[in-house]
A and B are shown apart, each in its own frame.
Chain A
Amino acid sequence: MNKLQKAFNNGKAFIPFITVGDPNIEISEELILALENSGADLIELGIPFSDPTAEGPTIMEASKRALDKGITTDDIFNLVARVRKKSSVALAFMTYANVIFSYGIERFAQKAASLEIDAIILPDVPYEEKDEFYIPFKKYDIDVIAMITPTSNERVNKIAKEATGFVYCVSSLGVTGTRNTISLDISGLINQVKTVNPNIPCAIGFGISNKEQAIKMAKISDGVIIGSAIVKLIEKYKMNCVPYISEFAKEIKEGIRDIK
């Protein structure tokens, strides 16, 4: 069993996101370890991009703060190398196509594999363009995660059929960011995925901001992804954010772990 499968083997999975380098690289390192200790099953590490077209204001601003500090892809690889001396938690990189393309897709994949990265999430690479990334990453046993959205409709079948690792179900239209209500029919979407690919775990992301929403989403899926709500806490507490994030993470994981 690979680490990604294990991530979905501990009750409903909790998948937090952080923008690496915000507030700085040292705190990012502490956050990864704190999130693991607080029950995170898989941690999404955002490699900041200058123009993140799928992000709402919270993650956009976090990316800018990190880039303004001069953080680079290589700094992030070095950070993960330090983390890997202490932790074997499942890790995914979330970034944009150009960050990987400019590094060299093969070179990036090789580096990520050496750091035991389990998955890559690229919001600007849809099914039609995936092979360019999917094939080189597959060679290193890294899953490029498929995303489905409420507008995917008949596309869900072909996307789900070829999905590996897990399926990232986008809960709402628009960009990332916390929302007061999530009203679209996500369980229908997930049923459609499971009909085509019964064993693939489905995690829901975009707009989940608190325990109540997390529980609601965990009821209809295999895990929840929380980004903006965490990034907002980081923004609020800056260098002192670690205990607040730990507490939030524990609350979420405890809330969803045993949901059936």
Chain B
Amino acid sequence: MNRGHFGVHGGQYVAETLMNAVIELEQAYNKYKNDDQFNKELTYLLNEYAGRPSLLYYAEKMSKELNGAKIYLKREDLNHTGAHKINNVLGQCLLAKRMGKTRVIAETGAGQHGVATATVAALMGLECEIFMGQEDIERQALNVYKMKLLGAKVVSVKTGTATLKDAVSQTMREWTSRISDTHYVLGSVMGPHPFPTIVRDFQAVISKEIKEQCLAKEGRLPDAILACVGGGSNAIGAFYNFIEDKDVRLIGLEAAGLGVDTDRTAATISVGKLGIFHGMKSYFCQNEYGQIAPVYSISAGLDYPGIGPEHAHLKDIGRAEYYPITDNEAVEAFEYLSKTEGIIPAIESAHALAYAIKIAPTMDRDKIIVVNLSGRGDKDCVQIARYRGETINE
């Protein structure tokens, strides 16, 4: 049986209690992924509810100002709920309904995945519980309110660093204690097989559209695709349909926090090593004894000590490149896009923009960069203001 290996990465490192649950999920997914009715419903929801296809916007002003490659923005921020997360949640909740589950649980970091899950749970009449680190609850109060408004219960996770990794651990514990009626809507391309594959497939619509849109607008494929990487779901979604197009550079941008030479970082590819955690073998930030490191980033959505197994494999085989972006570079890009194009990006996506700002001027004007603008930045305004020493009273 294929247990979701990407080179040496992936696998199913979970408690025996969960094994039949992940096997049941894999069987259901294999049954429905090529089911016409299932795909028809999913496409309907993606188009009519989430607002797909998302635009591929030519950032002309930014491109001219940087005086280099043409920069396109894949506007996942324009999706319903303001990020790419809804693509996967619609797919998984539809699958959960088909499996006869009546309750969904999910982890969330920045709150985007939690909001998307609460939204779709409301739409589909599923009971919903979201696990969120106490630290992130404080950083993302607005999203917490939204989830509650949408009818979800938000559970504060106070263990460990009280951030995304602890929220994932707690959601796994919760799933272990109640699998018969509950589906775990994992939000990224991580965790035990089949999650990295399922989430990737549901997010691959991003690269499918980029390809079609770029061909329509430019008559050719882009030269580089840039996306921020925490667990890596928006990045794998933006990369997937280009993996075989070897001339397209695939570039993932990790959260360096205060810098990869400090211990306040979340740049897994830069500072992590091979390990086994959260159901998968991949790269993780950890100490010499395998204890998972307390990572840090200004971005709650990238504040995770691991990376999805398929990214780890793309890194190993040299198909994708990964670079660290510091808090400061991301904040500058956040402000730059707002002022230059009138688009406020999520602080996560600003990591990818920061790299575009770096490389565009070094490229010829006939080159094309696509930045996956994975989310919108409304949720980050209070925090970025604080970063700049300004206090906003909401």
Cα distance, A51 to B286, chains bound together (Å): 11
Q: Does A2 contact B (CB under 8 A)?
A: no
Contact of A101 among B16, B176, B276, B291 (CB under 8 A): B276
Cα A60 to Cα B276 with chains together (Å)? 18
A135-149 to B contact mask, C-beta < 8 Å, 1/0: 000000000000111
Chain A 52-81 near chain B by CB (<8 Å), digits 1 or 0: 011011001000100100001110000000
Set of chain A residues within 8 Å of B19, measured between Cβ atoms? 126-128, 151-152, 155
B312 to chain A: closest CB distance in Å?
A: 14
Chain B residues whose CB sits within 8 angstroms of the CB of A73 once the complex forms: 289-290
Question: Which residues on the A side are within 8 Å of B17 (C-beta)?
Answer: 149-151, 170, 173-174
Q: Report how far A56 CA is from B367 CA in the complex, Å.
A: 54
Taking a contact as CB atoms under 8 Å apart, the answer to whether A50 and B291 are in contact is yes
B72 sits at the interface (CB 8 A)? no
Is A124 in contact with B289, judged by CB distance below 8 angstroms?
no
Which listed residue (A50, A125, A150) contacts B13, Cβ 8 A?
A: A125
Decide if A152 touches B16 in the complex (CB within 8 Å): yes
Given A174-B176, A175-B173, A175-B177; A151-B20 close (CB under 8 Å): yes
Stretch from B75-83, B159-167, B217-225, B340-348 contacting the other chain? B159-167
Alpha-carbon distance between A67 and B286 when the two chains are bound, in angstroms: 14
B288 touches A126 (CB 8 A): no
Q: Which residue in A60, A98, A125, A170 is a CB contact (below 8 Å) of B159? A: A60
Q: Count contacts on B: residues with CB < 8 A to the other chain.
A: 38
Instruction: Name which of A50, A153, A155 has the most chain B CB atoms within 10 A of its CB.
Output: A50
Q: How large is the interface on A (under 10, 10 to 19, 20 to 34, 35 or more residues)?
A: 35 or more
Question: Complex formed: what's the CA distance from A50 to B17 in Å?
Answer: 21
On whether the beta carbons of A126 and B13 are closer than 8 Å, the reply is yes
Residue of B nearest to A97 (CB): B276
Closest Cβ of chain A: how far from B238's Cβ, in Å? 29
B291 and A53 contacting across the interface, CB-CB below 8 Å: no
A185 to B55, CA, bound (A): 55
Interface: B172 (CB within 8 A):
yes
* Chain A residues close to B by CB (< 8 Å): 49-51, 53-54, 56-57, 60, 64, 67, 72-74, 96-103, 123-129, 147-153, 155, 159, 170, 173-175
| 7 sample A-B contacts, Cβ–Cβ < 8 Å, listed by A number | A50-B291, A51-B160, A74-B289, A102-B286, A124-B15, A124-B279, A149-B15
B residues apposed to A, CB below 8 Å? 1, 3, 11-21, 159-160, 165-166, 169, 172-173, 176-179, 273-279, 284, 286, 288-292
